[in-house]
Amino acid sequence: MTPPSPRPKLTRPRPAVAQPTGKAAPTRAGVRRPVAERIAPEDALLICFYKPYGVLSQFTPEGKWQGLKDYIDLPGVYVAGRLDADSEGLLLLTNDGKLQAHIADPRFKMEKTYWVQVEGTPDEAAMAALRLGVVLNDGPTLPARARLLNPPPDVGERVPPIRERKSIPTSWLELVIREGRNRQVRRMTAAVGYPTLRLVRAAMGPYSLEGLAPGLWKQVNAR
């Protein structure tokens, strides 16, 4: 008799394992946040972009706001540290997931420098309050560095122009913070009695707007 053929081995399909793809990762609220891959240091890119007013910190436009794809044609880079659409200034992008986390995570306490145009002229009491920390609805802020900027920074006119009352002067402040709460700078100046009219992020850690005009970007070395 011919011996029976051996029965084929049955193997269970392995569960799919998520691999870093540079695609968006789910958050608790169900909103997907773009996450960069972890790559070799020599392949890491870091981009400094001067975000104009009216541009979202994402590549896809929404409603009246533009997306980054209108300015940056570079595949595989993702935002590290968001900036509101109605704010201007430095936005960092990278293709390195580890660097992205380091920049965006408030635990690493990367300083962020803002130039803030406010309604009115803050007195010393208001400046002292900003330096010591002000109480917001989500708790007190950490101490910050604050000073008046005179002359004001050379940032040109905003497009569209700010809404200001001709009867009330405006002033520029420099505010340096280590936190990243939602609309924190605007809430801080409002808490001391001086609403923000215009907000420009000038620097994040060692990275700045130097050499850039609105809508332009440059590649820099990660430090």
Cα 72 off chain centre by:
16
**Strand pairing report for 196-204 and 170-177:** unpaired
CA distance 84 to 70: 17
User: What span, in angstroms and rounded, lies between the C-alpha atoms of 177 and 170?
Assistant: 22
The yes-or-no answer on residue 84 being catalytic is yes
Closest CA to 37 of 76, 73, 91: 76
Strands 145-148 and 217-220: unpaired
Which residue shows structure tokens 């440059």?
A: 218
Estimate to the nearest angstrom the gap between the alpha carbon of 189 and the chain centroid. Answer: 19
Pairing of strands 78-80, 217-220: unpaired
* Catalytic member of 43, 70, 84, 86: 84
So which residues are the catalytic ones?
Answer: 84
